[in-house]
Every structure is written in C-alpha cells, then in structure tokens.
Amino acid sequence: MITLDNLTKTFGPPENPVVAVDRVSMEVQQGDICILLGPSGCGKTTTLKMINRLIPKTSGKIFVGGRDTDALDAVELRRTMGYAIQQIGLFPNMTVEDNICVVPRLLKWSDATARRRAAELLEMVALDPAVFLRRYPRELSGGQQQRVGVARALAADPPVMIMDEPFGAIDPINREIIQDEFLRLQQTLRKTIMFVSHDIDEAAKMGDRIALFRNGRLEQFDTPNNVLAHPANGFVADFVGADRALKRLRLLFVREAVDGAAPAVDSTDPLDRAVQLMREHGHERIVVLDATRRPVGQLRLPIIEGCHGTCAERIEALQATVTPEDDLRIAVSRMFTHDTVWLVCIDGDGRFAGHVTQRGITRLLGKTHRAPAQAIPRESVA
C-alpha cells in the first residue's frame, strides 16, 4: 500500500549536506500499522512528513496504492491521507463538529453528509455527539481532544493515515485507554497507518510492523515480536531494552502457551486418581472440575498424598485464573502476584481450557525465538 524506495532527505548546502534520511526502502501492507521508531533526530518524523509532502524529499520514490505520489498534486494527496499530530492541532476557533468536517468540506461533501459523518465519528471514538459536537476544543480534556483529533483524521475515510506521535501528549493511563480504543477501531477500519513513536512499548503494542531508525537509516523493519526476539544489531538491542523478553510477553497470548491436554479431576473422583494423574504428568497441582467442566478448585500433591476419600473433601480455592485472550504479561503478573508457576485457563463460558505454566511460557518464548530465524535467513541491514 505504501512503498518507500531509496527515500533520501538532505538539508543544508549541497557540498556539505546533512543527511536526515538515508536511502530508506520499505513496504507497508494494506491494513497494517507501521511504527516508525527511534530516538530523537533519527529521521522517523522526516520520513513520515515526506509521505504527505510536508517536507519535500531530496531523492527516491514514494508510492501510495501503487501510484507514484510525485504525479499527484500535494494538496490533493494530503486530502486522501488522514493526518494526526502530537499537539493534536484542533482549530480553537471551530467547534468539534467543524473541526471534524474540515476535510469533508474541502472535498466538497454536502453539509448534511459531513455533519452526519462527524456525529458518526464521535460515536466511534466514544464521545457522545449530543454533548460534544457543539463544544470548542478548549472545553475538552486532553484525552477528549486527542479522540477528536483521531476522528478528524478519519473524517473523509482516507485509506492511509499519517500519525506523528498522536498519543504522545496524554497521561499514561489515558494513553493506554486511547491506544486500546484505536486498536479496536483499526480492527474494523483496516487503514494503512504510518505512525511515529519513540516508545518501544507503544510500538510493540500498536504495530504490525516496526521500522527502527538510527541516524536516518532504517536499522530493522520487522514484526514487533521479531524486533524484540531478534534485534538486527547492538543498537536495536539497546533501543528495545534489556527487558525485551518481558516486552514480548505482551505480544503473545495465553492461548498460545496453554496446555490444553492438562489433566483434571471431577470433584466426585477419589483422591487416589488425582494423585495418580499428578504423578503421571509430573505436576504438583491439579484442577478440580464440577459436572459442567467448570473449575471449582485445586488439589496439591503434598497435601493429599496418602489421604483417602473424594477430591471434594480436600479441595482448595483457585487463587488466580486466566483466559485464552489474556496476554502473557497478564499471566506472568498473576503468577508473581500469587507466588505460583501454574495458572488455570478458563474459556469464555467459564469452562476449563487447560493450564499455563511458567515452563510452558519459557518454552514458547524460546520456540518463537528460533522459528523465524530458521524460516527466513535474515539479510544484514547495513
């Protein structure tokens, strides 16, 4: 959808140029969020702004939807791309409605259509149109302004969005909320998004692809999991941080780590059976289910060894559970909180879906760590 081909930007005199962006080539697929990531001055914002021609490029090509953007008028091009920036840039003289209607009106939509669109978009970003359409930007909180900024960028339903640290100016709690909302929107909208960030956590969370820049060069362009698992070089490894294995936990889900074949006993089963199953599987704990396969508690081997009777007599409460949709960060966090290496996984109906163990998670991280390296030999990026 968006292809950069040897994109270069130099500033200053031709005899002694400062290279801001150095022969960057990359391709972003339709419907993907590509995060341009890197420290300040790495060329990520310059690269972004060359796409909508806020900064003229020095050389190279930019294709959007297969068309060379040089062939398009800059103003027309920008109207086909949603644009959101860190300072939000809502026009203080306009109501929320007029702000959202800016591009539709530039595109000569009828007033009624533009207004209907504005109301629809406010709903989409979780703001009540009846309350907010008539407000002015200064009557909104930072988070609300940011939502309107996103709504405005989406106004004319552009296939491409250009976002320059759009959630950079919000407090961490609201940022998480807005990021989640945005990802939910993106699941239905499937826009192709170029998104500048300097925050590896945001990049790992939001990105389908991460393009990591240093000194105007593209150091690595890969999925967040691969960037974290296989940093292309020392710079990337440093940038993503020594805790990159922990960051990957967020990208993997319980459903990938769950052992669905884990044994379980019925509360009416004799304790002997529980002991036998645990010994067979080498487990210290086993989950107890009711007649509808819903977990009701657990048994621990050291406690029930040598006891007789039914499982129901020795049952202990389950401390924590996870669902297949939880990410592994949540699972590991629960393990630490409850001082356990074992969690029961419950599906959407409350039924037993297997268990997650610390060893299972470690093994998964190791597996996904090695798999792509065998599949695709990596090109050296230099």
Partner 1 sequence: MAAPVLSRRSVALLQPFAIVVVIVLGVEATGLAGSILDHWGDILYLTRQQIELVAISGALAVLAGLPLGIVLSRPAFRRIADSAMQTLNVGTTVPTLAVLALAMSFLGIGRIPAIFALWIATLLPIVRNTYVGLLEVPDHLIESAVGMGMKPSQILWRVELPNALWVIFAGIRTAIIINAGTAPLAFLIGGGGLGQLIFTGIALDDTGSILAGAIPTAIIAIFADFLISGFARVVVSRGILPVE
Pairing of strands 285-289, 264-266: parallel
Q: Which of 35, 102, 185, 330 binds partner 1 (CB under 8 A)?
A: 102
Identify the burial level of 26 via C-beta atoms within 10 angstroms of its C-beta, where 0-12 means exposed, 13-18 middle and 19 or more buried: middle
CB of 122: closest distance to partner 1 in angstroms?
17
Report the 3 state secondary structure along 299-362.
EEHHHHCCCCCEHHHHCECCCCEECCCCEHHHHHHHHHHCCCCEEEEECCCCCEEEEEEHHHHH
Query: Is the Cβ of residue 79 or residue 205 nearer to partner 1 in the bound state?
Result: 79
CB of 101: closest distance to partner 1 in angstroms?
11
Under rule CB under 8 A, residue 52 binds partner 1: yes
User: Which residues, numbered 140-169, are part of the site for partner 1 (CB under 8 A)?
Assistant: 152, 162
Under rule CB under 8 A, residue 44 binds partner 1: no
CB of 159: closest distance to partner 1 in angstroms?
14
Q: Which stretch binds partner 1 (CB under 8 A): 82-90, 212-220, 229-237, 307-315?
A: 82-90
User: Alpha carbon 338 to chain centroid distance?
Assistant: 27
CB of 127: closest distance to partner 1 in angstroms?
17
Q: Which stretch binds partner 1 (CB under 8 A): 100-108, 113-121, 246-254, 335-343?
A: 100-108
Query: Is the Cβ of residue 168 or residue 231 nearer to partner 1 in the bound state?
Result: 168
User: Which residues, numbered 164-223, are part of the site for partner 1 (CB under 8 A)?
Assistant: none
Quick one: DSSP state of residue 381? -
CB of 158: closest distance to partner 1 in angstroms?
10
Residue 10 β-bridge partners? 19
Q: Which stretch binds partner 1 (CB under 8 A): 86-94, 117-125, 225-233, 346-354?
A: 86-94
Query: Is the Cβ of residue 54 or residue 246 nearer to partner 1 in the bound state?
Result: 54
What burial letters (b/e) apply to 267-297, b meaning 16+ CB within 10 Å? bebebeebbebbeeeebebbbbbeeeeebbb
Pairing of strands 160-164, 192-197: parallel
Q: Which of 20, 62, 77, 286 binds partner 1 (CB under 8 A)?
A: 77
Distance CA 363, CA 358 (A): 9
Query: Is the Cβ of residue 92 or residue 377 nearer to partner 1 in the bound state?
Result: 92
Q: What is the dihedral angle through the alpha carbons of 24, 32, 376, 380, rounded to the nearest 10 degrees?
A: 20
Count of residues of this chain found to bind partner 1 when the rule CB under 8 A is applied: 26
Under rule CB under 8 A, residue 380 binds partner 1: no
Under rule CB under 8 A, residue 94 binds partner 1: yes
Q: Which stretch binds partner 1 (CB under 8 A): 2-10, 83-91, 282-290, 305-313?
A: 83-91
- The tokens describing 309, both together, are 């009777």
* H-helix segments, the chain: 44-51, 74-79, 96-100, 102-106, 111-124, 129-132, 142-153, 172-189, 200-206, 224-229, 234-240, 244-249, 254-257, 271-281, 301-304, 328-337, 358-375
What burial letters (b/e) apply to 88-104, b meaning 16+ CB within 10 Å? bebeeeebbbbbbbbbb
Q: Which of 19, 54, 72, 246 binds partner 1 (CB under 8 A)?
A: 54
Q: Which of 106, 177, 245, 312 binds partner 1 (CB under 8 A)?
A: 106
Strand ranges of the sheet holding 2-11, from the earlier edge strand across to the other edge: 18-28, 2-11, 59-64, 67-68
Query: Is the Cβ of residue 99 or residue 226 nearer to partner 1 in the bound state?
Result: 99
CB of 52: closest distance to partner 1 in angstroms?
6
Binding residues for partner 1 (CB under 8 A):
52, 54, 75-79, 83, 85, 87-95, 102-103, 106, 136-138, 152, 162
